[in-house]
Amino acid sequence: MNLRAITVTGRPFIRSHCNIMETADRNYYITTPIYYVNAHPHLGHAYSTILADAAVRLHRELGADTLLLTGSDEHGDKIAQAAEKRGMAPKLFVDEISSSFRDLWPKLSIKYDTFTRTTDAAHVAIVQKFLQRIYDAGDIYFGEFGGHYCYGCERFYTEKELENGLCPQHQTKPQFISEKNYFFRMSAYLPWLREFLENNPDLIRPTRYRAEAMAMLENGVLEDLCISRPKSRLTWGIELPFDQDYVCYVWFDALVSYISGIGWPDGSQFERFWPGEHLIAKDILKPHAIFWPCMLKAAGLPIYRHLDVHGYWLSRDTKMSKSLGNVIDPLAMAQKYGLDAFRYFLLREMRFGSDASFSEEGITTRINADLANDLGNLFSRVLSMAAKYLDSTVPAMDGINSDDSELAEPCRETMANYIQLAERMEFSLALENLWQFVRSLNKYVDTQAPWSLYKNKELDKLHMVMGGLLAAMRKIAICLWPVMPDAAEKMLAQLGCESRLGPDMPLANIEKEQASFEWLPAGLKLAPSSNLFPRMEASPKNAPASDKKDKDAADTPKIEHVDFDTFKKLDIRVGTIVHAGKHPNADRILKLEIDFGPGGKRHILSGLAEAYNPADIIGRKICAVLNLPPRKIRGLVSEGMVLTAEDDNSLTLLAPDAKMSNGSIIG
C-alpha cells in the first residue's frame, strides 16, 4: 500500500513543510457580504457566513489574531417597498429582519466579532465622513443624468450595459429616469484599477472573476457612478453631508460598512486589521471589484488584500429565489441532519467559485459515505480495537520513534495540502484531500490487521500500528475544527486529549502540528467506542398515509412455498468468524474467514460493511449455508452465505441463542 501518493482530482500538491502561511505574522480580517434585509436569511447567506467562520477558525489555528465582520444592509428602495408591503415603518421592518440574521449565526456555530447595521448611528456618521472626504477632494460632482434604473438592483444602467434592453441581472426592463444627482468621478480611477489588477493577479479569486472584472474595465461600459437619490422619490437612506435634499446610494453606503465596522478612521481595530479580505457571491462582483477599490483609492485608503468569490447554490438546477419558492431554510436543515454534518456538506459540496446543487439526497449521501462509512468507521473500529487489545489505554512507545511510523510523512503532506487549499477558500478540495487520507487509514487497518498482531503476540508492532492510527486521528480532528467544530472536539475527547487550548481558543496550532508527528501520551485513556456519525436512512417525507399504505403493500414480498424435502437439502451450520476485512474491490462487502469445526475453514463474502466494522465481529458465532456453489464476487470467491436478518433500518447477523460448537447443524 502506497500511503505517500496523495493527490486530489489528479492534482499533486506542494510537499513543503515551511512557509505554509504567508500571513502567520499578521492579523486576519474577513467580511461576509453586508446582507440585504428585504427578506429572511436563506441557504446562500448561511453558506457565505459558515465559509467565513471556517476561514477565521483556520487562521486562528495558524496563530493569527482574527476578526470576522458581518452585518445587514438596511437602506434603499427595496427595503422601503418591502416595509410598505408589510404595513410597517422601514426602521421597524429592518429591526425585525436584521435580528433574524444576527440570531441565526450562533445557531450554526458561527462566531462573528462584529455585526454592523447600516442604520447604526456610528455607521451613518462614518459614511458621511467618507463622502465628505471624497467630496472635498473634488471627486464628487453634481450633474443631470438620464438613465435606465432597475429597482431590483437599485442602480442606473447605461445603454451599453443592458442586454437586449433588459437589466442583465434581473432580465426586466428598467425604468428610464432623468434627474439631477451627485456622481462619484469613478472614471478617473479606472485606468489605475486596470493596472492594479494586472499587477496583483491574486487579488480576486478564483481567477475567472478577475478576468470578468478586467472585461468590465476593457469593454467601455463603465462610467462615473451615481451616488445619490433625491428625497423627492426616496427618503429611506443616509443623508448626504453636503446636501440635505439627497440620500446616499445604497451600495456606496453598504460598502463603507467594511471599514465603519472596525472604527475608521481612528479606531484601534482599523489600525490593526485593515486591509482585510472580502467574501462575496458572484452576483455582487461589480460593486466589490470595481466600485469599492475606486472608492478606497479616492479616499486615500489601502485596497483590500483579497476578494474571494463563490458561486450560487441551485435548487432543482435553478438559483434559489423567494419568488420561485425554492429557498432552503438553513436552520431547518441543520436541525434535521445535524449541524456539523450540514456545515461539512456545504463546504465539501461546493467547489469554490462554481455553482453547486442542493438536495437532501445529497446531504444523506455525504453523511453515509464520508462521515459514517469513512470517518465514523475509522474512529469506531480503532477505538474498539484499542478497547480489546490495549484496555482503552494509549500504549507506551519506549524506544520507538514516531517518525518511523508509515503514517508520519503522509500525515504531514496531507496537512500541508489541507492548509494551502483552505487558506485560498478551497475547502472542498481541502476536505477531498483530507478524506483520501481518512480512507487510506481504513485501508491501513485492513493491511496491518491489528487483530492478527494481537493474536500472534507481536505487541511492539501492534503498538506501532495503533499508536500511528491514534496520532493520525488526532491530526484529522485538528484539521476538521474549522469545518465541524463540535464534532472535532468530540473526536479529541474520545482520544483522551484536551479539546481546547483555552476558552474560545482553537484546538491547536495547526502549522506546528503539521510539522511534527508525535505519539499520544502513554497511559492516556481512550473512549471504548465511538458512534460519531450514525447512518441516515433516505425516505420520502410527509407522504400521504394512503400512499404509504399502498407502498407498504407493494413492498411486501410474496411468499412462495417450498416442500420439506427441498428445505432438508440446505446445509446450514454454526461457525465462528476468525478473520474479517474489507473486500479490496467492493466497499460494502466484508471478506470473512469462518471456522466450521470439523468442516474446516471457509472464506465467505457478505454485504456487512455498512452495518459492522471488521474488528468488531471477529470471534462472533454465525449461521451460514454451506452447500451453495462457489461464487466469484469482484474477483474473490465466496464459499457459502452468511445468514442475516434485515428490516428498513438495520441488518443483523443471525447466531444461535445457546453456545454451540463450530459445525453444529441447523435444521
* Interval 281-309: pLDDT, tens: 999 999 999 999 999 999 999 999 999 99
The predicted pLDDT at position 548 comes to 37
For residue 58, give every residue at least 6 positions away whose Cβ sits within 8 Å of its Cβ, in sequence order, or none.
419, 422, 423, 482, 510
3-state DSSP of 309-361: EECCEEECCEECCCCCCCCCCHHHHHHHHCHHHHHHHHHHHCCCCCCEECCHH
Residue 555 — very low, low, confident or very high, per pLDDT cuts 50/70/90? very low
Tens of pLDDT, residue by residue over 39-95, are 889 999 999 999 999 999 999 999 999 999 999 999 988 888 888 989 999 999 999
Selected catalytic residue, list 91, 107, 160, 322:
322
Decide if 278 is catalytic. Answer: no
C-alpha cell at 263: 472604527
Decide if 319 is catalytic. Answer: yes
Report the distance separating Cα 207 and Cα 209, nearest Å: 5
Question: Residue range 390-406: average pLDDT?
Answer: 91
Tens of pLDDT, residue by residue over 489-503, are 999 999 998 765 444
The separation between the first and the last C-alpha atoms of the chain, rounded to the nearest angstrom, is 44
3-state DSSP of 533-592: CCCCCCCCCCCCHHHHHHHHHHHCCCCCCCCHHHHHCCCEEEEEEEEEEECCCCCCCEEE
Q: Say which range, 142-156, 311-325, 447-461, has the weakest mean pLDDT.
A: 311-325
Residue 507 above 70 pLDDT?
A: no
The predicted pLDDT at position 68 comes to 98
Output 646 or 369, whichever has higher pLDDT.
Answer: 369
Query: What strand order describes the sheet that includes 306-310?
Result: 114-117, 66-73, 28-36, 277-281, 306-310, 204-205
For 40-44, the CB contacts below 8 A with 24+ separation are: 40/97, 40/100, 41/100, 41/101, 41/104, 41/330, 42/320, 42/322, 42/327, 42/328, 42/329, 42/330, 43/313, 43/320, 43/327, 43/328, 43/329, 43/330, 43/333, 43/358, 44/281, 44/312, 44/313, 44/320
Residue 632 — very low, low, confident or very high, per pLDDT cuts 50/70/90? confident
Report the distance separating Cα 9 and Cα 74, nearest Å: 42
The predicted pLDDT at position 287 comes to 96
Give SS3 for 164.
coil
Selected catalytic residue, list 231, 319, 336, 388:
319
Selected catalytic residue, list 59, 123, 148, 153:
153
Continuous segment of H or E residues that includes residue 377: helix 377-390
Count of other CB atoms within 10 angstroms of residue 659: 8
Question: Residue range 616-623: average pLDDT?
Answer: 88
Selected catalytic residue, list 107, 160, 170, 173:
170
Decide if 170 is catalytic. Answer: yes
Decide if 45 is catalytic. Answer: yes
The predicted pLDDT at position 499 comes to 63
Residue 175 — very low, low, confident or very high, per pLDDT cuts 50/70/90? confident
Residue 130 above 50 pLDDT?
A: yes
The predicted pLDDT at position 76 comes to 87
Q: What is the largest CA-CA distance in the chain?
A: 103
Selected catalytic residue, list 167, 248, 294, 411:
167
The predicted pLDDT at position 226 comes to 92
Tens of pLDDT, residue by residue over 181-213, are 999 999 999 999 999 999 999 999 999 999 999
Q: What percent of the chain has pLDDT over 70?
A: 89
Angle between helices 90-107 and 330-337 (to 10 degrees): 20
Angle between helices 485-494 and 377-390 (to 10 degrees): 10
| Cβ contact 590:612 at 8 Å | yes
Residue 554 above 70 pLDDT?
A: no
The predicted pLDDT at position 23 comes to 40
The predicted pLDDT at position 322 comes to 60
Selected catalytic residue, list 78, 123, 150, 306:
150
Residue 558 above 80 pLDDT?
A: no
Continuous segment of H or E residues that includes residue 666: strand 665-666
Chain centre distance of CA 23 = 22
Residue 22 above 80 pLDDT?
A: no
